Structure 1
Amino acid sequence: MLETLVDAACALPPLRTAVVHPCDPASLAGALQAQSRGLMQAVLVGPRARIAEVAQQAGLDLAGTELIDAPHSHAAADRAVELVRDGRVAALMKGALHTQELMQAVVARESGLRTGRRMSHVFALEVELYPRTLFITDGALNIAPGLLHKRDIVQNAIDLAQATGVATPKVALLSVSEEVDPAVTSSLDAAALCKMADRGQISGALLEGPLAMDNAISPQAAAAKGISSPVAGCADILLVPDLASGNMLVKQLVYLSGARTAGLIIGARVPIMLSSRADGVAARMAACALAQRLLQHRAAKP
C-alpha cells in the first residue's frame, strides 16, 4: 500500500524539500533516492564537509544537488526553517539529528512555523494482516495531550487520511475498554471528542470511542462484545491516549509484525517528514509521498 502511494506520488511535481543535517548514510540515501524517483528536489542543509564524507563512504553522488552549509545540527534546523519562511522550500525532512533539535526551531514563537492548529505526528502503517493503511497518532510528538489538543491531533490525521484517498476516515479513539469510566481520562476524552464531532468541531470523519484496541481493528472482537458501529473492527485511524502508548504500539507492529511505516508532522506551515534514525530508505520515500499528497490535497480545497 505504501509503495503504491509512492508510485502515484512520482507522477506529481517534485517537492522542494530542505533535508536537515543528512549526516548519516540512511538519511542522505533516503533523500537522494527520493530525488532520483522524482518525489523531491532536495536541498541538503548541514556541514558541507561531513555530508560530502558520508556520500563518499556510502557511494552516493551529490552532483546536481543543492547543499547549504551549516556548522552543526542546531544551525541546520534554524537554516531549514528560515528556508521555509522565505518560500524557498515547501517541506522539511529530518536527517541525522534528534527530533527535539529540529522541533525547537520549528516551534519557536517568533521565527518558527506555527499555525493556529496544534502540531502532531501521524504514522502511516502497512500491516500485513490488516486490509487498509492504518494511521496512528500521536506516537512521536505530543507527550500527554489534553482534550483540545486531541481535537487538533484527530483533525490532522483525518486530513492526511483524506489526502491518501480515504474519503471518510473511520477514527477509533482508544482506551482500555468501550465503557466510559470517570477514573480513565482517555475514556472521558474519547466520549467528548465524539460529541465534538457531532457538533462540527471535528469534521470529515466518523468517530467512535472509547474503544479498546481489539474492538477498533477486529470485527470478531467487536461483534463478540456487542459493539455495533461503522468504525469498530475496521478503523482507519487510531487515536492513542498518549505518546508512550502510541510509540510502543507502532514499534510493536514494526518489529513483531513486520509492518512498514512512514511518519509525518502536520499542523506546521509545511509538512515535516519525521523518520526515525533507524528507518530505511523506503520509509523516507513513503514519508515524502505522504507530504506530496497532503500538499496536493490542501491545494485542491476550495
Structure 2
Amino acid sequence: MSRLNGKTVFISGASRGIGRAIALACAKQGANLIITGKSDEPHPKLSGTIHTVAEEVRQAGGQALAVKMDVRKESQVKEAFDAAVAQFGGIDVLVNNASAISLISAEQTKLTRYDLMHSINVRGSLACSKAAIPYLKQSDIGHIITLSPPLNLEPHWLGPHIPYTMTKYGMTLLTLGLAEELREHGVSASCLWPQTTIATAAIEFALDPALMKRSRTPEIMADAAMAILACDDLSLSGQAHIDEALLRAQGQTDFEQYRVDPDAPLMRDLFLDE
C-alpha cells in the first residue's frame, strides 16, 4: 500500500501545470488533495480551475477539496488550512507550488512587480509552511516540497533578472532552513526543480511560446515529487533536488516519455549549468 494512501496533501497553485500533475499523481496513490489557487472560474486563456482539478483527482482515485486561496492573504491561507483539517483531520504534505515570474533586470523592474513576486514566492511559501507545521509535526510522513532551484551564485544567473532570482532563492533558503528547524520532529523539507523547462502557462505566456516544444511535460516533476514522498526517512531533506537527477538515482533511465516534441532539443531550465 502507498505511503500516501489516506494521507492529505495540500498544494498551492494547483489549478494547472505542475501543481495539477502532482495532485493527480498523489490521487493515484489514494491521497486526499487540497486543491488551492485563485482560479475558481474559467480563464479565457488558461485552462483549468481548482474545481476541474478536484474532479480529476476524484476520477483518479483520490478525495479532493477545492479551496480558493491567494497565498498573499494570510486570512485566506488560514481559512484554507482550517477547511482542509475540518474535512480530512490534518495535513501530511505541503507542496509550495504557487509562484510568480518576471525575467527582467533590477533597473527595469517596478517595485510593485517585485512586491508581487516576493509576496507570492517567498512570503506565500512561508505563510503556507507556517500554517502547515503544527499538522506536519503530528504526521508520520510529514513533508514540505517547495518548487525552487538550487542556490547557484554564478554571476550569469545573478545579473539578468535578480529581482526574480532573489525571490526563488528565498523560497529555497526558507525550505532548507525549515529542514533544520523541523528535523527533530521528523518532518522533511526539500526543494524540487526541473532539469529542463516544463510546458506550463508560465512558459507559454510569460516567457516564449516557442519554448513549449523544447520542454518536458509536468509529469516528470510529479514523478520526482512522488520519489521524494516515497522516502521514509530524512535522507532527502535539506536538499535542492533536480527532477531528472533524482529519478536517475531511483533507477529510472527512460525520459523520452516526458518530451513535448521528440524532435526538438530540450531547453535547460534557469539556474542550472550542468
If the length of structure 2 is used for normalisation, what is the TM-score?
Answer: 0.38
The structure richer in strand per residue is 1
Which structure exhibits the higher relative contact order, with contacts defined as CA atoms closer than 8 Å and separated by 6 or more residues?
A: 1
If the length of structure 1 is used for normalisation, what is the TM-score?
Answer: 0.35
Higher alpha-carbon Rg: 1
